[in-house]
Structure 1
């Protein structure tokens, strides 16, 4: 009997979690000394990712306003706009924006928070700069 979890020929690579690759790309971009190319990002990511995969992730991050790009010649140079926490916040916002009853979604979200997370959220809301109520 062969143990496939110890490097056997039939071993399948682990499937990444949703958003995991985006987080890895953002982390690499945040380490960059300046705006960088997709090839630069590809060289620094672990694994054998295709250049087209890196470009797809960068393009998706750009659509989410998590990275900025500037045309240089025939390609782009990329810079991070958000960190991993910012990217998670953007995802949460998109989910909220897709729902018709925002109040119900937020109320349901708050009811499933741990007491520690609820306190943290309350503290953050108190610290947040005031906003106009009638937007």
Structure 2
């Protein structure tokens, strides 16, 4: 899974935050609060995200309703997995990553490891 482009990320972040399906017009209205952008641009990028498997869509009247196919956490995990998988020294990459963490992030990692262990033991 490759990293999202700028507008792709803006669209996905909105859909993840809203937690509900939305039209390209809904996304456009929100994007236009920060910068002007054309409807056709938002619609094209939403269609590209659909083609990449990041969004599913369903016709409602004349409009497509878009919804993410994965959570923000699943997307981030896939990016991390890809980065580790392409590294010849994944353990070294993990050590470097952990060394750059804040104490709160390290606590979150410890909690995630405990949760993963409990799930695998169950």
TM-score (norm 2): 0.60
Aligned residue pairs total 112
In the superposition, relative to structure 1, how do residues 57 and 95 fare at CA in structure 2: closer, same or farther (>3 Å)? farther
The structure with the largest helix share of the pair is: 2
Greater radius of gyration (CA): 1
**Root-mean-square deviation (CA), in Å?**
3.5
SS at match of 2:37: coil
> 2:53, 2:69 within 8 Å by CA — same for their partners in 1?
no
Q: CA deviation at 1:100?
A: 3.5
Shift, 1:56, TM fit: 4.8
Gaps of 5+ in 1: 1-17
Q: Which runs of 5+ in 2 are unaligned?
A: none
Q: Which runs of 4+ in 1 moved over 6 A?
A: none
Output the CA distance in 2 between the equivalents of 1:115 and 1:20: 29
Point out which structure has higher relative CO (alpha carbons under 8 A, 6+ apart): 2
CA change 1:113–1:28 in 2 (3 A) is closer
Aligned to 1:55: 43
